[in-house]
Amino acid sequence: MQVMSGKEVSKAVYEELHTRTEAFVQTHGYAPTLAVVLVGNDPASQSYVNSKKKACLSLGFGHQDYTLAQDSTQEELLSVVRRLNADSTVHGILVQLPLPSHMDSEAVIETIDQHKDVDGFHPMSVGKLLIGLPTFVSCTPLGVLTMLDHYKIETSGKHVVIVGRSNIVGKPLAALLMQKGRDATVTVCHSRTADLASLTMTADILISAIGKPLFIQPSMVKEGAVVIDVGINRIEDPAAKRGYRLVGDVDYDTVSSHCSFITPVPGGVGVMTIAMLMKNTLQAASLLAAKDTK
Ligand SMILES: NC(=O)c1ccc[n+]([C@@H]2O[C@H](COP(=O)([O-])OP(=O)(O)OC[C@H]3O[C@@H](n4cnc5c(N)ncnc54)[C@H](OP(=O)(O)O)[C@@H]3O)[C@@H](O)[C@H]2O)c1
């Protein structure tokens, strides 16, 4: 069994991004710039926003932070997004989700200029992805593909079973893996799937993105399968400093002994997501620069 290390893969991604960013700055005289908009003061969201800022700084990207009060109106948020759309010094816009319940996330995402949609959540990006056109690919699915590529895991002709059908993980992953070139046969499962284990048992590559700690047990995994665990779940642990620890959807200790490759949690897919956001931001800056010179 080989552990697929998000730390190792993201290190390689950052090295490549460093080189490409230096070349970009040399050519254009400015750095790719990401604007991150946060509404409210949810500690988890604040921590994600901080990690994104750190990643920008480490690569020499420009970074702008906008924090709106929890009780801001939708119109206030939309006006920040529109201002960033119009600002030619901003190349990527990310509105940290989830938004407060009085806001309409879809309307906010649709307002982001699709050329700056580095999260890949805009309906235009998602539609292009589905029909196999180049576009921004949402960061977690892109992270999974990058890990598969890094470990030279063939997807052509393989049966990939994805557990979870969310718009940010399960659906885009299914669309990506079934495209020509990836050529996987994809089964997508969800909470209404009957006899889930009988399907997961047939997976050459099993991807879990459900958000249920230690849900995937050895009896659900074929001997020699590749297991990708997207889940990040907190479980109580009085021995841990913070009173909890992070685990995946997969029961790593019992499943790892009979699969060929597995991603750990933490240190697996989760580490890849911000690296992919940086990659998308550099891509946005490059495409916008190319558009400007036309
Ligand atoms: N950076 C990262 O690595 C990253 C990024 C995003 C998410 N995550 C993690 O990935 C997990 C999933 O996130 P998400 O946003 O995709 O979650 P989500 O929107 O809550 O979707 C969960 C999906 O799992 C399905 N599901 C729930 N219980 C199930 C069960 N018992 N059997 C089969 N399917 C089941 C749901 O089915 P229904 O559609 O039928 O409800 C739904 O499609 C979470 O732990 C999250 O923290 C990690």
| CATH assignment of the domain containing 200 | 3.40.50.720
Which is the catalytic residue, given 113, 119, 249, 251? 119
- Shared-domain flag, residues 256 and 175: yes
- Shared-domain flag, residues 160 and 42: no
Structural domain boundaries enclosing 62: 28-113
What integer pLDDT is reported at residue 291 of this predicted model? 86
Between the CA of 211 and the centroid of ligand 1 the distance, in Å, is 5
- CA angle 264–266–272, rounded 5-degree value: 90
Determine, yes or no, domain membership for 130.
Answer: no
List of residues 6+ apart from 172 with CB closer than 8 A: 120, 126, 129, 137, 138, 141
- Shared-domain flag, residues 180 and 245: yes
pLDDT tens digits, 84-109: 999 999 999 999 999 999 999 999 99
- Shared-domain flag, residues 144 and 266: yes
Using the atom order of ligand 1, give the atom closest to the CA of residue 268.
3
Between the CA of 240 and the centroid of ligand 1 the distance, in Å, is 25
- Shared-domain flag, residues 143 and 265: yes
β 259-262/225-229 pair status = parallel
pLDDT tens digits, 194-225: 999 999 999 999 999 999 999 999 999 999 99
Catalytic residue at 52?
yes
Between the CA of 125 and the centroid of ligand 1 the distance, in Å, is 21
Total number of domains in the chain? 2
Q: Which residues line ligand 1 (CB under 6 A)?
A: 140, 163-166, 168-170, 189-193, 196, 209-212, 230-233, 269-270, 273
List of residues 6+ apart from 242 with CB closer than 8 A: none
- Shared-domain flag, residues 104 and 217: no
Determine, yes or no, domain membership for 214.
Answer: yes
Between the CA of 191 and the centroid of ligand 1 the distance, in Å, is 10
Catalytic residue at 222?
no
What integer pLDDT is reported at residue 150 of this predicted model? 98
Catalytic residue at 119?
yes
Determine, yes or no, domain membership for 148.
Answer: yes
pLDDT tens digits, 25-44: 999 999 999 999 999 999 99
The pTM for the full model equals 0.97
Q: Which of 113, 148, 178 is the last residue of a domain?
A: 113
Determine, yes or no, domain membership for 55.
Answer: yes
- Shared-domain flag, residues 161 and 76: no
Is the pLDDT assigned to residue 189 strictly greater than 90? Answer: yes
Q: What is the mean pLDDT of residues 173-201?
A: 98
As a whole number of angstroms, the distance between CA 208 and CA 172 comes to: 13
Is the pLDDT assigned to residue 294 strictly greater than 80? Answer: no
